Protein backbone atom coordinates (compact mmCIF):
# COMPACT_ATOMS: atom_id res chain seq x y z
CA UNK A 1 0.00 0.00 0.00
CA UNK A 2 1.26 3.51 -0.78
CA UNK A 3 2.19 6.07 1.89
CA UNK A 4 1.66 3.68 4.81
CA UNK A 5 2.86 5.27 8.02
CA UNK A 6 4.20 3.24 10.94
CA UNK A 7 1.89 2.70 13.88
CA UNK A 8 4.26 4.32 16.37
CA UNK A 9 3.86 2.32 19.55
CA UNK A 10 0.08 2.23 19.68
CA UNK A 11 -0.30 -1.50 19.13
CA UNK A 12 -1.04 -3.93 16.33
CA UNK A 13 -4.68 -2.89 16.11
CA UNK A 14 -3.82 0.54 14.71
CA UNK A 15 -5.15 0.80 11.15
CA UNK A 16 -4.86 3.13 8.19
CA UNK A 17 -8.44 4.30 7.66
CA UNK A 18 -10.13 6.29 4.94
CA UNK A 19 -13.25 8.28 5.79
CA UNK A 20 -15.73 9.73 3.30
CA UNK A 21 -18.57 12.01 4.37
CA UNK A 22 -17.86 14.60 7.08
CA UNK A 23 -21.25 15.94 8.00
CA UNK A 24 -22.22 16.40 11.63
CA UNK A 25 -22.22 12.65 12.24
CA UNK A 26 -19.25 11.76 10.07
CA UNK A 27 -16.97 14.39 11.58
CA UNK A 28 -17.65 13.10 15.08
CA UNK A 29 -17.03 9.54 14.00
CA UNK A 30 -13.77 10.44 12.28
CA UNK A 31 -12.62 12.23 15.44
CA UNK A 32 -13.33 9.09 17.44
CA UNK A 33 -11.07 7.10 15.13
CA UNK A 34 -8.31 9.72 15.40
CA UNK A 35 -8.70 9.72 19.17
CA UNK A 36 -8.31 5.93 19.22
CA UNK A 37 -4.89 6.30 17.58
CA UNK A 38 -5.80 5.23 14.06
CA UNK A 39 -4.34 6.92 10.99
CA UNK A 40 -7.24 8.62 9.25
CA UNK A 41 -7.38 10.03 5.72
CA UNK A 42 -10.52 12.07 4.99
CA UNK A 43 -12.47 13.40 2.01
CA UNK A 44 -15.63 15.47 1.83
CA UNK A 45 -17.41 17.32 -0.95
CA UNK A 46 -17.02 20.63 0.91
CA UNK A 47 -13.51 21.42 2.19
CA UNK A 48 -14.33 23.00 5.57
CA UNK A 49 -14.74 19.78 7.59
CA UNK A 50 -11.62 18.32 5.95
CA UNK A 51 -9.52 21.26 7.07
CA UNK A 52 -10.93 21.08 10.60
CA UNK A 53 -9.99 17.41 10.90
CA UNK A 54 -6.60 17.98 9.28
CA UNK A 55 -5.79 20.34 12.16
CA UNK A 56 -6.68 17.52 14.55
CA UNK A 57 -4.35 14.99 12.97
CA UNK A 58 -6.17 13.62 9.93
CA UNK A 59 -4.64 13.55 6.47
CA UNK A 60 -6.58 15.38 3.77
CA UNK A 61 -7.29 13.49 0.54
CA UNK A 62 -7.79 15.30 -2.73
CA UNK A 63 -10.08 12.63 -4.19
CA UNK A 64 -12.20 9.72 -2.94
CA UNK A 65 -9.78 7.41 -4.74
CA UNK A 66 -6.97 8.50 -2.42
CA UNK A 67 -9.15 7.61 0.56
CA UNK A 68 -9.47 4.06 -0.74
CA UNK A 69 -5.70 3.56 -0.36
CA UNK A 70 -6.22 2.23 3.15
CA UNK A 71 -6.85 -0.86 5.26
CA UNK A 72 -10.50 0.11 5.58
CA UNK A 73 -12.79 2.90 4.41
CA UNK A 74 -15.78 4.25 6.32
CA UNK A 75 -18.52 5.90 4.25
CA UNK A 76 -20.98 8.23 5.99
CA UNK A 77 -22.98 9.85 3.20
CA UNK A 78 -26.60 11.01 3.43
CA UNK A 79 -28.48 8.68 1.07
CA UNK A 80 -28.41 5.95 -1.56
CA UNK A 81 -27.72 8.36 -4.41
CA UNK A 82 -24.76 9.99 -2.68
CA UNK A 83 -23.15 6.59 -2.01
CA UNK A 84 -23.81 5.54 -5.59
CA UNK A 85 -22.29 8.71 -7.06
CA UNK A 86 -19.20 8.78 -4.89
CA UNK A 87 -18.40 5.06 -4.63
CA UNK A 88 -19.95 3.08 -7.48
CA UNK A 89 -20.07 5.61 -10.31
CA UNK A 90 -16.38 6.44 -9.84
CA UNK A 91 -15.36 2.78 -9.93
CA UNK A 92 -13.69 2.89 -6.53
CA UNK A 93 -14.50 -0.73 -5.70
CA UNK A 94 -13.01 -1.99 -8.95
CA UNK A 95 -9.81 -0.05 -8.33
CA UNK A 96 -9.53 -0.94 -4.63
CA UNK A 97 -6.97 -3.46 -3.41
CA UNK A 98 -8.49 -6.77 -2.38
CA UNK A 99 -7.51 -6.57 1.30
CA UNK A 100 -9.67 -3.49 1.81
CA UNK A 101 -12.87 -3.61 3.88
CA UNK A 102 -15.51 -0.99 3.07
CA UNK A 103 -17.69 -0.01 6.03
CA UNK A 104 -20.90 1.78 5.05
CA UNK A 105 -22.39 3.63 8.02
CA UNK A 106 -24.90 5.58 5.94
CA UNK A 107 -28.60 4.99 6.53
CA UNK A 108 -29.53 3.55 3.15
CA UNK A 109 -32.31 1.43 1.71
CA UNK A 110 -32.33 -2.31 2.17
CA UNK A 111 -32.52 -2.78 -1.60
CA UNK A 112 -29.49 -0.59 -2.24
CA UNK A 113 -27.54 -2.34 0.51
CA UNK A 114 -28.25 -5.62 -1.31
CA UNK A 115 -26.93 -4.01 -4.52
CA UNK A 116 -23.80 -3.03 -2.62
CA UNK A 117 -23.37 -6.60 -1.41
CA UNK A 118 -23.28 -7.77 -5.02
CA UNK A 119 -20.98 -4.95 -6.15
CA UNK A 120 -18.46 -5.67 -3.41
CA UNK A 121 -18.58 -9.40 -4.12
CA UNK A 122 -17.90 -8.79 -7.81
CA UNK A 123 -14.97 -6.53 -6.93
CA UNK A 124 -13.60 -8.92 -4.31
CA UNK A 125 -13.74 -6.21 -1.62
CA UNK A 126 -14.99 -6.79 1.92
CA UNK A 127 -18.24 -5.06 2.85
CA UNK A 128 -19.58 -4.39 6.34
CA UNK A 129 -22.75 -2.38 6.92
CA UNK A 130 -22.44 -0.46 10.19
CA UNK A 131 -25.17 2.16 10.62
CA UNK A 132 -25.20 3.89 13.98
CA UNK A 133 -27.71 5.01 16.57
CA UNK A 134 -27.13 8.44 18.09
CA UNK A 135 -27.15 12.14 17.36
CA UNK A 136 -24.10 14.27 16.40
CA UNK A 137 -23.31 15.13 20.03
CA UNK A 138 -23.31 11.41 20.82
CA UNK A 139 -21.01 10.75 17.84
CA UNK A 140 -18.63 13.48 19.01
CA UNK A 141 -18.49 11.87 22.45
CA UNK A 142 -17.78 8.40 21.00
CA UNK A 143 -20.97 7.09 22.57
CA UNK A 144 -22.75 5.73 19.49
CA UNK A 145 -24.35 2.31 19.26
CA UNK A 146 -23.02 0.56 16.16
CA UNK A 147 -25.21 -1.99 14.37
CA UNK A 148 -23.01 -4.13 12.15
CA UNK A 149 -23.38 -7.02 9.74
CA UNK A 150 -21.04 -8.66 7.27
CA UNK A 151 -18.89 -11.67 6.52
CA UNK A 152 -17.18 -12.82 9.75
CA UNK A 153 -13.74 -12.43 8.19
CA UNK A 154 -14.40 -8.84 7.14
CA UNK A 155 -15.95 -8.02 10.50
CA UNK A 156 -12.95 -9.45 12.36
CA UNK A 157 -10.56 -7.25 10.38
CA UNK A 158 -12.39 -4.03 11.21
CA UNK A 159 -13.59 -4.77 14.73
CA UNK A 160 -11.15 -2.24 16.29
CA UNK A 161 -12.74 0.46 14.12
CA UNK A 162 -16.26 -0.51 15.07
CA UNK A 163 -15.32 -0.50 18.74
CA UNK A 164 -13.71 2.94 18.41
CA UNK A 165 -16.85 4.44 16.88
CA UNK A 166 -19.15 3.85 19.83
CA UNK A 167 -19.75 2.65 23.33
CA UNK A 168 -21.29 -0.63 22.16
CA UNK A 169 -21.44 -2.74 19.02
CA UNK A 170 -24.43 -4.87 18.09
CA UNK A 171 -23.91 -7.86 15.75
CA UNK A 172 -26.90 -8.22 13.42
CA UNK A 173 -25.84 -11.04 11.11
CA UNK A 174 -23.67 -11.98 8.16
CA UNK A 175 -25.75 -10.25 5.48
CA UNK A 176 -24.90 -6.54 5.51
CA UNK A 177 -28.38 -5.40 4.45
CA UNK A 178 -29.81 -6.74 7.72
CA UNK A 179 -27.94 -4.01 9.62
CA UNK A 180 -29.59 -1.41 7.40
CA UNK A 181 -32.97 -3.03 8.03
CA UNK A 182 -32.35 -2.91 11.78
CA UNK A 183 -31.43 0.79 11.59
CA UNK A 184 -34.59 1.66 9.64
CA UNK A 185 -36.70 -0.32 12.12
CA UNK A 186 -35.07 1.58 15.01
CA UNK A 187 -35.69 4.96 13.39
CA UNK A 188 -39.30 4.00 12.68
CA UNK A 189 -39.77 3.08 16.35
CA UNK A 190 -38.11 6.32 17.45
CA UNK A 191 -40.30 8.45 15.18
CA UNK A 192 -43.32 6.55 16.51
CA UNK A 193 -42.31 7.49 20.06
CA UNK A 194 -42.07 11.15 19.06
CA UNK A 195 -45.53 11.03 17.48
CA UNK A 196 -46.98 9.34 20.57
CA UNK A 197 -45.51 12.05 22.79
CA UNK A 198 -46.72 14.80 20.44
CA UNK A 199 -50.30 13.54 20.59
CA UNK A 200 -50.19 12.94 24.35
CA UNK A 201 -48.86 16.45 24.99
CA UNK A 202 -51.44 17.99 22.64
CA UNK A 203 -54.16 16.17 24.58
CA UNK A 204 -52.74 17.48 27.85
CA UNK A 205 -52.56 21.05 26.59
CA UNK A 206 -56.17 20.99 25.37
CA UNK A 207 -57.21 20.05 28.93
CA UNK A 208 -54.95 22.74 30.45
CA UNK A 209 -52.59 20.18 31.92
CA UNK A 210 -49.00 21.38 31.86
CA UNK A 211 -47.24 19.00 29.44
CA UNK A 212 -44.08 19.27 31.54
CA UNK A 213 -45.91 17.49 34.34
CA UNK A 214 -47.00 14.73 31.99
CA UNK A 215 -43.45 14.44 30.67
CA UNK A 216 -42.10 13.96 34.19
CA UNK A 217 -44.66 11.23 34.84
CA UNK A 218 -43.87 9.45 31.56
CA UNK A 219 -40.09 9.55 31.93
CA UNK A 220 -40.25 8.69 35.62
CA UNK A 221 -42.52 5.66 35.22
CA UNK A 222 -43.66 3.94 32.03
CA UNK A 223 -41.13 5.39 29.58
CA UNK A 224 -37.89 5.96 31.47
CA UNK A 225 -35.93 5.56 28.25
CA UNK A 226 -33.46 7.68 26.26
CA UNK A 227 -35.94 8.32 23.43
CA UNK A 228 -38.46 9.90 25.78
CA UNK A 229 -35.88 11.67 27.91
CA UNK A 230 -34.11 13.15 24.88
CA UNK A 231 -37.02 14.11 22.67
CA UNK A 232 -39.72 14.69 25.29
CA UNK A 233 -38.21 17.97 26.56
CA UNK A 234 -37.61 19.15 23.00
CA UNK A 235 -41.27 18.60 22.15
CA UNK A 236 -42.61 20.16 25.35
CA UNK A 237 -40.33 23.19 24.97
CA UNK A 238 -40.87 23.30 21.18
CA UNK A 239 -37.09 23.43 20.90
CA UNK A 240 -36.55 22.27 17.33
CA UNK A 241 -33.51 24.36 16.44
CA UNK A 242 -30.67 23.90 15.87
CA UNK A 243 -31.40 20.68 14.03
CA UNK A 244 -29.22 17.68 14.82
CA UNK A 245 -31.21 15.54 12.38
CA UNK A 246 -33.32 17.47 9.91
CA UNK A 247 -36.94 16.67 9.08
CA UNK A 248 -36.29 15.60 5.45
CA UNK A 249 -33.83 12.97 6.69
CA UNK A 250 -36.49 11.58 9.00
CA UNK A 251 -38.94 11.55 6.11
CA UNK A 252 -36.38 9.69 4.02
CA UNK A 253 -35.93 7.01 6.67
CA UNK A 254 -39.67 6.46 7.10
CA UNK A 255 -40.05 6.12 3.34
CA UNK A 256 -37.23 3.57 3.29
CA UNK A 257 -38.90 1.60 6.08
CA UNK A 258 -42.16 1.57 4.12
CA UNK A 259 -40.27 0.45 1.01
CA UNK A 260 -38.64 -2.39 2.94
CA UNK A 261 -42.02 -3.48 4.28
CA UNK A 262 -43.66 -3.39 0.88
CA UNK A 263 -40.86 -5.49 -0.61
CA UNK A 264 -41.70 -8.43 1.67
CA UNK A 265 -45.43 -7.91 2.22
CA UNK A 266 -45.12 -6.49 5.74
CA UNK A 267 -47.73 -3.73 6.15
CA UNK A 268 -46.66 -0.72 8.24
CA UNK A 269 -49.83 1.37 8.59
CA UNK A 270 -48.43 3.64 11.29
CA UNK A 271 -45.36 4.31 9.17
CA UNK A 272 -47.76 5.65 6.54
CA UNK A 273 -49.18 8.05 9.14
CA UNK A 274 -45.67 9.15 10.08
CA UNK A 275 -44.74 9.71 6.43
CA UNK A 276 -47.76 11.96 5.93
CA UNK A 277 -47.01 13.88 9.13
CA UNK A 278 -43.42 14.47 8.05
CA UNK A 279 -44.68 15.70 4.68
CA UNK A 280 -47.11 17.97 6.54
CA UNK A 281 -44.28 19.40 8.64
CA UNK A 282 -42.04 19.99 5.64
CA UNK A 283 -44.98 21.57 3.81
CA UNK A 284 -45.40 24.03 6.69
CA UNK A 285 -41.83 25.25 6.24
CA UNK A 286 -40.09 23.18 8.91
CA UNK A 287 -37.57 21.41 6.67
CA UNK A 288 -34.57 23.03 8.36
CA UNK A 289 -35.76 22.08 11.83
CA UNK A 290 -34.99 18.96 13.85
CA UNK A 291 -37.10 15.94 12.94
CA UNK A 292 -38.78 16.21 16.35
CA UNK A 293 -40.60 19.23 14.86
CA UNK A 294 -42.98 16.66 13.41
CA UNK A 295 -44.66 17.11 16.82
CA UNK A 296 -45.96 20.48 15.60
CA UNK A 297 -48.35 18.62 13.31
CA UNK A 298 -50.27 17.11 16.24
CA UNK A 299 -50.40 20.52 17.93
CA UNK A 300 -51.79 22.21 14.83
CA UNK A 301 -54.42 19.53 14.36
CA UNK A 302 -55.50 20.03 17.97
CA UNK A 303 -56.01 23.73 17.31
CA UNK A 304 -53.00 24.71 19.40
CA UNK A 305 -50.28 27.24 18.72
CA UNK A 306 -47.40 25.04 17.57
CA UNK A 307 -44.92 27.69 18.61
CA UNK A 308 -43.32 27.73 15.20
In this structure, are residues 68 and 94 in contact, taking their beta carbons and an 8 Å threshold?
A: no
The CATH number of the structural domain formed by 182-301 is 1.10.1040.10
Return residue ranges of the chain for CATH 1.10.1040.10.
182-301
In this structure, are residues 34 and 60 in contact, taking their beta carbons and an 8 Å threshold?
A: no
pLDDT-flagged residues of the chain (< 50) = 1-12, 308
Return residue ranges of the chain for CATH 3.40.50.720.
16-174
Nearest alpha carbon to residue 116 among 155, 153, 149, 87: 87
Cis peptide before 242 (omega within 30 of 0): yes
Nearest alpha carbon to residue 17 among 157, 152, 146, 113: 157
Question: Is 183 a catalytic site residue?
Answer: yes
C-alpha dist (Å) from residue 175 to 154, 171, 264: 12, 11, 16
CATH topology of domain 16-174: Rossmann fold (3.40.50)
In this structure, are residues 70 and 95 in contact, taking their beta carbons and an 8 Å threshold?
A: no
Identified catalytic residue from 183, 246, 252, 289 = 183
Neighbours of 111 (CB within 10 A): 15
> How high is the pLDDT of residue 14?
86
Angle between helices 176-206 and 110-123 (to 10 degrees): 160
d(CA 201, CA 141): 31
> How high is the pLDDT of residue 306?
58
Amino acid sequence: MQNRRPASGTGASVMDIGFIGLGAMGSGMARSLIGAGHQVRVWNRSPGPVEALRREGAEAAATPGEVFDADAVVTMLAADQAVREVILDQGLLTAAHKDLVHIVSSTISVAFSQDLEQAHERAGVGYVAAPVLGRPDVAAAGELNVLFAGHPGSVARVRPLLQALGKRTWPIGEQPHLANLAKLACNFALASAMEAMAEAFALARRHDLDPQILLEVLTGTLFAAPAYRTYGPMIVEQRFEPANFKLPLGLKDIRLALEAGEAVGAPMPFASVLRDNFIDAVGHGDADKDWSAVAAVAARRAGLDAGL
